[in-house]
Amino acid sequence: MRHLLLNLPEDWIVPDWPAPAGVRALITTRRAAPGAGASRGTYAQFNLGAHVNDDAQAVARNRAFLRGLLPAEPVWLTQVHGTRVVEAGPASMGERADAAVARAPGRVCAVLTADCVPVLLADTKGAAVGIAHAGWRGLAAGVIDNAVAAMGVAPQSLVAYLGPGIGADAYEVGTEVRAAFVTADSGAATAFTPRGPGKFLADLHQLARRRLERIGVRVYGATDCTYSDPARFYSYRRDGATGRMASLVWIT
């Protein structure tokens, strides 16, 4: 079910997934509503990352615009490509973690990305939501599994939405990345295409989808490549110095 939010920039993403009526979700892009994007240069227009050397006042203005569309301030995390999950709330603001869950209305779970895959989660009964920042390190180490477990409901009652991330045609990795997945799950080899000695193209969306489906979660989304669409998405692999997009989910 697509939930409508008002006054959004036209190319922001409202996930099309069968979440219940009491769940809302939103994914920003680098574009802003006319006059709203404060970031300039390589960070233009709507950077939400406060850790990427963008002008702090510009980031604050961007975050203030986003806050006006939400029931509360997003619980911004200090992401470290790990597997820790926190309960979203005032006490967890700024915590070193890469996933968050919420069971109470109005607590906005959020992650920032610029190639890593944002994984949004919702209980189909509306009792819990969650989100995970899935780069290859966190994904291989179990950040998705930890987020699902922290929601406290059967995985079969969850739906997931995979947001924009670097596509399989652009994400070149070495043998250590492939080994991190294939050692634990030989079937994950299908997500890696050889590209010269010691190099592979990795399908991060497929790896995330595989992880979720193996534990019983139904998966939606996973169609947008950050690397190949510079007008719409930030991409760290493409640009180096760049901004961050936000993925958010909450219970109303």
User: Which among 142, 151, 67, 141 has a CA at the least distance from the CA of 110?
Assistant: 67
So what's the pLDDT on residue 9?
A: 85
Angle at 133 between CA 95 and CA 27, to 5 degrees: 105
Task: Give the long-range contacts of residues 135-140, CB within 8 A, separation 24 or more.
Answer: 135/81, 135/204, 136/173, 136/177, 136/180, 136/202, 136/204, 136/207, 137/81, 137/82, 137/180, 138/81, 138/82, 138/83, 138/98, 139/181, 139/204, 139/207, 139/208, 139/211, 140/177, 140/180, 140/181, 140/184
Residue-wise pLDDT for 139-192, tens only, equals: 999 999 999 999 999 999 999 999 999 999 999 999 999 999 999 999 999 999
Q: Is residue 11 part of a domain?
A: no
Q: Is residue 13 part of a domain?
A: no
CATH of the domain at 39: 3.60.140.10
- Encoded tokens for 238: 């493409």
SS3 label, residue 39: coil
Q: Is residue 4 part of a domain?
A: no
d(CA 150, CA 132): 11
Site of tokens 């607590």: 107
Phi, psi of 250 (to 5 degrees): -160, 165
d(CA 189, CA 4): 38
Question: How many other C-beta atoms can be found within 10 angstroms of the C-beta atom of residue 219?
Answer: 19
- Encoded tokens for 180: 């991190």
d(CA 217, CA 148): 9
So what's the pLDDT on residue 4?
A: 47
- State the angle between helix axes of 204-214 and 143-150 in degrees (0 to 180), rounded to the nearest 10: 40
Q: Is residue 46 part of a domain?
A: yes
Q: Is residue 209 part of a domain?
A: no
Q: Over the range 19-47, which residues count as b (16 or more CB within 10 Å of their CB) and which as e?
A: bbebbbbbbbbbbbeeebbbbeeebbbbb
Site of tokens 């699902």: 148
Q: Is residue 18 part of a domain?
A: no
So what's the pLDDT on residue 123?
A: 98
Ranges of the chain whose pLDDT falls below 70: 1-7
Q: Is residue 179 part of a domain?
A: no
So what's the pLDDT on residue 225?
A: 98
Tally the domains of the chain. 1
Q: Is residue 41 part of a domain?
A: yes
Q: Which domain does 162 fall in, by range?
A: 23-166+215-251
So what's the pLDDT on residue 5?
A: 64
